């Protein structure tokens, strides 16, 4: 393979995963930069302009032949079929409910915002929660459920996209993920741990039911990918 593209979905345990990969390819690696959005835009428009810039940066790194490219960047099927056809594509997923709760609590710790509700119960009623709860849709199908209510075709698109990946790891089984990654990269990976969150707090049964409804699209993608990988 010419190299690897690691798509790092936020709060999937990918900081350690990505750090190990970058050390493995230390002489030819790049991380997609954050906060490239148009400063004259606000809200969703700025987020989308940011991700469009990240995609352009991904294309540039591929054109230069960088061997390991990692970052919070959306999957581009057209790039995969053309300039990056000889690259391996990697990602790491996590139970969507755990991922969503972790993402919210990370934002509260690291990026406090007076406009963001200070309880999870209140936050899940916001538009931002709709976006955060459908990150698998956004990263692998191009849109979050904050952008559209018709998620069915996006779910199908995301599942098909992930079927093209060389590795879709599951954070709940790190040993299997690490073994598969060694086989793909053809060598050992250094141990590296970054960005560890505090111990996970439990949620009530009633709140979990609400979270399952909110994260339904990502749950369907996650379960489908797990089922097909296990069957294979």
Q: What is the pLDDT of residues 100-117, one digit of tens each?
A: 999 999 999 999 999 999
**pLDDT above 90 coverage of the chain, percent:** 75
Contact 157, 141 (CB under 8 A): yes
Higher-confidence residue of 228 and 44: namely: 44
Mean of per-residue pLDDT scores for the chain? 91
Average pLDDT over residues 129-155: 96
The pLDDT score that the predictor gives to residue 87 is 97
Q: Please provide the size of the chain in residues.
A: 232
- Identify the weakest region by mean pLDDT among 12-21, 64-73, 158-167: 12-21
Domain of residue 201: give its range.
Answer: 3-231
The pLDDT score that the predictor gives to residue 231 is 46
The pLDDT score that the predictor gives to residue 65 is 97
The answer, yes or no, to whether residue 202 has pLDDT greater than 80, is no
Residue 164 belongs to domain with CATH number: 3.40.50.300
Residue 232: which pLDDT band, with cuts at 50, 70 and 90? very low
Query: For the chain, how many structural domains are there in total?
Result: 1
Alpha-carbon gap, residue 207 to 209, rounded angstroms? 5
Average pLDDT over residues 138-165: 96
The answer, yes or no, to whether residue 15 has pLDDT greater than 70, is yes
Calculate the alpha carbon distances from 84 to 20, 22, 23, 77, 185 in Å: 22, 18, 21, 9, 16
Average pLDDT over residues 142-151: 95
Alpha-carbon gap, residue 104 to 116, rounded angstroms? 10
Average pLDDT over residues 26-54: 95
Give the alpha-carbon dihedral of 228, 73, 194, 202, to 10 degrees. Answer: -60
Q: Which helix (H) or strand (E) holds 168?
A: strand 167-170
- pLDDT tens profile 154-199: 999 999 999 999 999 998 888 888 888 888 888 766 655 555 554 5
The pLDDT score that the predictor gives to residue 18 is 83
The pLDDT score that the predictor gives to residue 191 is 59
């Amino acid at each position: 393979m010419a190299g690897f593209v690691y798509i790092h979905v936020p709060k999937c345990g990918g900081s350690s995963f990505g750090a190990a990969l970058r050390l493995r390819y230390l002489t030819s690696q790049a991380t997609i930069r954050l906060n490239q959005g148009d400063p004259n835009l606000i809200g969703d428009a700025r987020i989308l302009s940011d991700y469009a810039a990240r995609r352009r940066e991904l294309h540039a790194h591929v054109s230069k032949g960088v061997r390991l490219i990692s970052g919070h960047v959306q999957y581009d099927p057209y790039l995969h079929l053309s300039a990056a056809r000889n690259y391996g594509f990697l990602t790491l997923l996590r139970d969507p409910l755990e991922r969503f709760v972790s993402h919210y609590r990370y934002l509260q710790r690291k990026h406090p915002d007076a406009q963001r509700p200070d309880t999870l119960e209140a936050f899940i009623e916001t538009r931002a929660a709709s976006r955060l709860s459908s990150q698998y849709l956004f990263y692998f199908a191009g849109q979050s459920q904050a952008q559209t209510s018709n998620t069915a075709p996006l779910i199908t698109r995301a599942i098909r996209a992930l079927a093209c990946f060389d590795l879709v790891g599951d954070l709940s089984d790190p040993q299997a993920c690490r073994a598969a990654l060694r086989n793909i990269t053809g060598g050992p990976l250094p141990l590296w741990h970054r960005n560890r969150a505090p111990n996970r707090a439990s949620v009530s049964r009633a709140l979990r039911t609400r979270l399952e409804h909110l994260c339904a699209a990502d749950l369907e993608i996650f379960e489908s990918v797990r089922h097909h990988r296990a069957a294979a």
